């Protein structure tokens, strides 16, 4: 059973460039979450999908950010015109539905560390 | 807006000692999570607490939840060096079934010999 995978693990980019990250959830987990973690802080929720539908976006997700999950499997997170403040670890998590309990467990991937210079 | 506070933020403790990390949150929730994070690594799930009075134990760690007080504790018994890491509590503050987590700022635990 493979866990959540993310690619790339590290990305260094220059300010103003676009970047795209990929997340592959655990098979058959129909929910997928994106979080952002800056140094010394806890992760912050960005957005989540149920199958291919994006159900909620945080106010943290500015117009420069877009996320997709086109076939309800892998997801991509794109940041356009990167800024130094975008430097962070971007974490993906997937979650299975546990009957009447709903989605109670989130399994996190290794993260993509973005550095904007 | 849901706020989650942990204390202490940093804890240096000797091997063999006991200590407790506290997690307070600001709005009603009956779902609380504890995660461990090693430097440069992702989050490892430790406990999922789903009801008032829930208590779970794994090895030297025990977590409890008091939803009325909006408080969870993570108790460490006879600490060993391998427990050195940052510990986060997270609360599901969703009103529906979104299950989006709000994390505390973390407690960095350092266990010394």
What is the DSSP code string of B56-91?
EEETTEEEEEETTTTEEEEEE-S--GGG-EEEEEEE
pLDDT at residue A1 in the model: 55
Select from A3, A31, A42 the residue whose CB has the most chain B CBs within 10 Å, as the one to mutate to test that interface.
Answer: A42
Q: Which residues in chain B (76-105) have CB-CB distances under 8 A to chain A? A: 88, 90, 97-105
Residue of B nearest to A104 (CA): B99
pLDDT single digits (tens) B16-44: 999 999 999 998 888 899 999 998 888 99
Inter-chain touch B88–A43, beta carbons under 8 Å: yes
B71-108 confidence digits (pLDDT tens): 999 999 999 999 999 999 999 988 777 788 999 999 99
Is the model's pLDDT at A99 over the cut of 80?
no
Nearest neighbour of A42 by CB, restricted to B45, B98, B105: B105
Residue B113 to residue A87: CA distance in whole angstroms = 35
Q: How confident is the model at residue A98 (pLDDT cuts 50, 70, 90)?
A: confident
Decide: helix, strand or coil at residue A73. coil
Taking residues B1-28, what's their average pLDDT? 94
DSSP for residue B93 = -
Question: Measured between alpha carbons, how far is B46 from B37 in angstroms, rounded to an integer?
Answer: 10
Q: Answer whether B103 sits within 8 Å of A109, measured CB to CB.
A: no
Mean of pLDDT over chain A: 93
| Residue B62 at interface with chain A, using a CB cutoff of 8 Å | no
Instruction: Return the beta strands (E) in chain A as ranges.
Output: 5-7, 10-13, 19-24, 31-37, 44-50, 53-57, 65-68, 75-79, 88-95, 107-108, 112-116
pLDDT for A60 beyond 90? no
Per-residue pLDDT tens for A28-50? 899 999 999 999 899 999 999 99
- In Å, how far is A28's CA from the nearest CA of chain B? 17
Of the candidates B35, B42, B105, the beta carbon closest to that of A41 is on B105
């Amino acid at each position: 059973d493979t866990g959540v995978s993310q690619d790339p693990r590290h990305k260094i980019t220059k300010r103003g460039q676009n970047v795209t990250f990929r997340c592959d959830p655990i098979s058959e987990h129909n929910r997928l979450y994106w979080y952002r973690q800056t140094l010394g802080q806890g992760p912050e929720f960005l957005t989540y999908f149920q199958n291919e539908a994006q159900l909620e976006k945080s106010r943290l997700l500015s117009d420069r950010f877009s996320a997709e999950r086109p076939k309800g499997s892998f997801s991509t997170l794109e940041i356009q015109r990167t800024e130094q403040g975008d430097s962070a670890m971007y974490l993906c998590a997937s979650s299975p539905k546990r009957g009447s309990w709903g989605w109670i467990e989130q399994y996190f991937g290794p993260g993509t560390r973005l550095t904007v210079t | 807006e849901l706020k989650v506070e942990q204390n202490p933020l940093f804890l240096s403790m000797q091997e063999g000692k006991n200590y407790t990390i506290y997690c307070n949150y600001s709005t009603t929730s009956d779902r609380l999570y504890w995660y461990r994070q090693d430097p440069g690594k992702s989050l490892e799930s430790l406990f999922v607490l789903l009801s008032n009075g829930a208590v779970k134990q794994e090895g030297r760690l025990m977590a409890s939840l008091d939803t009325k007080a909006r408080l969870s504790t993570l108790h460490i018994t006879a600490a060993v060096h391998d427990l050195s890491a940052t510990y986060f509590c997270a609360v599901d503050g969703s009103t529906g079934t979104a299950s989006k987590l709000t994390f505390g700022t973390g407690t960095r635990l350092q266990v010394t010999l």
